[in-house]
Structure 1
Amino acid sequence: DFPGQVRGVSWFAPAILRLAEHDEWHGAQLTRQKVGALLAGLITTNDGTAPFGGEAQGEALIGSLEPGAMVVLPPGKDVTFSNPPAIAQEANDFGRITLHEIAAALGLPYEVLTGDLASVNYSSIRAGLVEWRRRVEMTQHNVIVFQALRPIWRRWAMIESLQGRLAARPQEMLPVRWITPKQQWVDPAKDVQAEIEAINAGLMSRREAVAARGMDVGALDAEIAADKAREASLGLAFTAPAKVAPAAAPAIPVTEEAA
């Protein structure tokens, strides 16, 4: 925003007001529940006598009942209990709406922010995760890699080259490929089949598909080749199970009468 700026606006700036309001709401609801748990009994007497013992505070007598106790009140005595406030459904709805606003301000799916999966289905959670993962990849490559990892790698390559511990020149070490951790799939079977079809159709490379799994294609190919060589030397053979075709329905013999 201005020359010499060393830090920008926090990502929490759009949600800071809602976070404060949610914290106040949570405290208010907790206080309300504590008040609601204070069930009190009010004893009315006509002659001023008390049905059971207690501690006198002024003209009032503060007593208590033990769990499971049965007290018989004399004639003319009456007991009424306080009616503490109940937790209304509107309060819970307000808290949920506030969390939705906080999640939208932070660019997070509501389910990721709260862990609440009660009202999601396969399509909704998949659509939400796809959009969120795009934001995660943007942050990984445009912020973490560009502003942190690249300067660290450049400085390390320069120091190692000047110390004589690298045979290559620093310019040769700078071009690198940054591979982010693998993103877990919602439906692995469908996602893998979609990748296979995209590779066969030429819409994506195998290197791109392997990199999305958080691996390097060269290291993966070397590992596969080593596995096959070891299996061949040990006389092992691992093949995919053959697909069994469904059995054909038995033919019904045609007799002369049926003909």
Structure 2
Amino acid sequence: PDGVKKSDFTHGVQVRKGGAPKAYVVCKRDKAGKIVFERILRAGFVVHHGYFDRFDQVRGISPMAAAINTLRDTYEGFDYALAKAKVSQLFALAFYRQEYDGAGETLTRETTVESDGSGDGDLEDTAQQRYDVDFGRGPIKLELADGDRAEFLEAKSPSSEFQAFCQTMIGAALKGLDIPYSFYDESFTNYSGSRQAMLQYEQSADVKRSDVRMVLNNLTAWRLRLWIEDGALVLPAGMGISDLHWEWIARGIPWIDPLKEVNADVTAIKEGLASTVEVVKRRGRDAYEVADEEAEYREYRRTKGLPVDSESQQSLQIVEINANG
């Protein structure tokens, strides 16, 4: 735009003398894919979600950067393998016939019938045409002379080596995103391996969840300020945005073996190794919200004249004691 020097911006970022970002250039793409200038946005109005690990970098690096090149190359290899598999469908039938020379030695001669499945099979033999094969008529029966045999020429595409290589590349790309390979292929490991992979994933994902939580907190504070200014959210007198508290909880992961994991959580809580709030949060819920729901449900049962869980358990124990004498 007018009045703005191109030399003042580095990778679309205007920086101060100390290197801190001052403004960002926001662009869009038109229908032809050309980059078109949109506006210049002050740095204070931008919420980032990226990696800022190098001291002299002026813009963040996408969290997908660790795997994007590997995934792109692997996907390109899939295209080539698919093209090769299609070409291999142009099969050929090879005939092997035995002949004898004057000394009684056995000679093997190979004759091929090439076809693309359309029925245009040709038999090429420099000596003679012994078998006439037409694949266009459907299933055929070959009556071969003694000592002769027929085999299809197969390319075996994709090869087992290519499949193993793709598995290694996909695993490396997923590792760059802290995702275990068993998440991609469930049959890759057993329960113990899946459990171990889940625990390692939880530890590695905790850092990334902190970054996402920071972005969400900034967006939440921004929206709350707008709601307060617009009058959509009215706070009590003397209360400001800093007095509001919220928490973003990551979506929980379901139990792999519910009985074992629930018993382990209950034991950890009883032994003081974990709290109810921590255990419930791992499942993507808020412990206080669960307690409110449970209290509301118990009160509802009382209004209907039904026993609550504790009372029903006590009555069940009394019945068992009486039954045992």
Long gaps (5+) in structure 2: 1-18, 22-56, 93-112, 114-121
Structure 1 position 203 matched with structure 2 position 273 = yes
User: 8 Å contact 2:268–2:274 — kept in the other structure?
Assistant: yes
Q: Quick one: which amino acid aligns to residue 151 of structure 1? A: N
2-structure distance, mates of 1:179, 1:45: 74
Structure 2 counterparts to residues 41-190 of structure 1, below 5 A: 41=113, 42-44=122-124, 65-68=136-139, 83-87=153-157, 88-112=159-183, 114=184, 116-140=185-209, 142-147=210-215, 149-164=216-231, 165-168=233-236, 169-190=239-260
Q: Distance in 2 between matches of 1:18 and 1:156?
A: 38
Rate the CA distance shift 1:234–1:105 in 2: closer, same or farther, 3 A.
same
After superposition, what is the alpha-carbon deviation per residue over 1:152-195, rounded to whole angstroms, capped at 9, x for unaligned?
22223333434554233224543323222222122222222222
What do the CA deviations read for 1:33-71 (whole angstroms, capped 9, x no partner)? 222211132413569999989xxxxxxxxx763213569
- Residues 161 and 170, structure 1, Cα contact 8 Å, conserved in 2: no
Measure how far apart 1:6 and its partner are. Answer: 6.0
2:34 corresponds to 1:34? no
Q: Is the 8 A contact 1:14 1:105 kept in 2?
A: yes
- Number of residue-to-residue matches in the alignment: 229
Which amino acid in 2 is paired with 1:123? S
C-alpha displacement of 1:121: 0.8
4+ aligned runs moved over 4 Å, structure 1? 45-53, 69-73, 78-82, 240-245
Q: Distance in 2 between matches of 1:196 and 1:71?
A: 71
Report % sequence identity: 23
- Structure 1 length as normaliser, TM-score? 0.71
**CA spacing shift, 1:134–1:179, aligned 2, 3 Å:** same
Partner of 1:231: 301
CA separation of 1:244/1:102 partners in 2, compared to 1, >3 Å: closer, same or farther?
Answer: farther
Decide whether aligned partners of structure 1 residues 19 and 177 sit closer, same or farther in structure 2, where only a CA change above 3 A counts. Answer: closer
Q: Which amino acid aligns with 1:146?
A: M
Q: CA deviation at 1:82?
A: 6.5
Q: Per-residue displacement from partner, 1:100-153 (whole Å, max 9, x unpaired)?
A: 2212222211122x2x1223011111111111123333322x222212x22222
Instruction: Find the residue that maps to 2:187 and give its secondary structure.
Output: coil
- Matching residue of 1:250: none
Q: 2:66 matched to 1:10?
A: no
What runs of 5+ residues in structure 1 fail to find an aligned partner?
54-62, 246-259
Return the letter of the residue paired with 1:36.
Answer: S
Aligned CA-pair RMSD: 3.5
By relative contact order (CA 8 Å, sep 6+), the higher-ranking structure is 1
Deviations 1:206-237 (A, max 9, x none): 22223333333332222222211221222212
When residues 230 and 22 of structure 1 are mapped into structure 2, their CA distance, relative to the original with a 3 A threshold, is: same
Structure-2 change in CA distance of 1:146 and 1:47 (3 Å): closer
**Per residue, is there more strand in 1 or in 2?**
2
